[in-house]
Amino acid sequence: DIVSNFRAILDTIADGVIVIDEAGTMHWFNPAAERLFGYHRDEVMGRNVSLLMPEPDHSRHDGYLADYLRTGIKKIIGVGREVQGRRKDGSLFPMYLSIGEQRQGDQRLFVGIVHDLTRRKQAEAAQRRDH
């Protein structure tokens, strides 16, 4: 059916797709997100998205969500931002984060798209060396 075809498409997307609820709890983690962060989806489902980032954001992310829910002021939603991701092995990588918002009745879900910037950064560094 249409929905299972859509799931298959989501599974082939090269960028990480992560869905969280208003509390930051993860409900969706596609195969590209598994590759990027080094976690199996079963390890992250039901855990807080702050698992995937270094300090100081790790400690502050619940506050970022609470601020947004209280004020409605969008800092990343609809704009995007370059941030640091943290893999399971503790290593960091540069990523471009885009966030979309979906209302489900009186609940809200947030869809995060994670694009790995490692190769772009390496290419930029190589270009700086060559000039």
- Provide the binding-site residues for ligand HEM, judged by CB under 6 A: 18, 20, 49, 52-53, 57, 61, 64-65, 68, 74-77, 83-85, 97, 99, 110, 112
Q: To the nearest whole angstrom, how small is the minimum distance from the Cβ of residue 6 to ligand HEM?
A: 18
Residue 47: both structure tokens together? 């855990």
Q: To the nearest whole angstrom, how small is the minimum distance from the Cβ of residue 126 to ligand HEM?
A: 26
User: How far is CA 112 from each of CA 60, 118, 131, rounded to the nearest angstrom?
Assistant: 17, 18, 36
Residue nearest to ligand HEM (CB): 112
Please identify, using beta-carbon distances, which residue of 34 and 57 lies nearer to ligand HEM. Answer: 57
Q: To the nearest whole angstrom, how small is the minimum distance from the Cβ of residue 131 to ligand HEM?
A: 31
Count of H helices and E strands in the chain?
A: 5, 5
Please identify, using beta-carbon distances, which residue of 82 and 126 lies nearer to ligand HEM. Answer: 82
Task: Please answer whether residues 109 and 102 qualify as being in contact, where contact means their C-beta atoms are separated by less than 8 angstroms.
Answer: yes
Please identify, using beta-carbon distances, which residue of 32 and 53 lies nearer to ligand HEM. Answer: 53
Nearest CA among 87, 109, 90 for reference residue 100 = 109
State the Cα–Cα distance between residues 129 and 86, nearest whole angstrom.
27
Please identify, using beta-carbon distances, which residue of 101 and 126 lies nearer to ligand HEM. Answer: 101
Q: To the nearest whole angstrom, how small is the minimum distance from the Cβ of residue 63 to ligand HEM?
A: 9
Task: Please answer whether residues 36 and 29 qualify as being in contact, where contact means their C-beta atoms are separated by less than 8 angstroms.
Answer: no
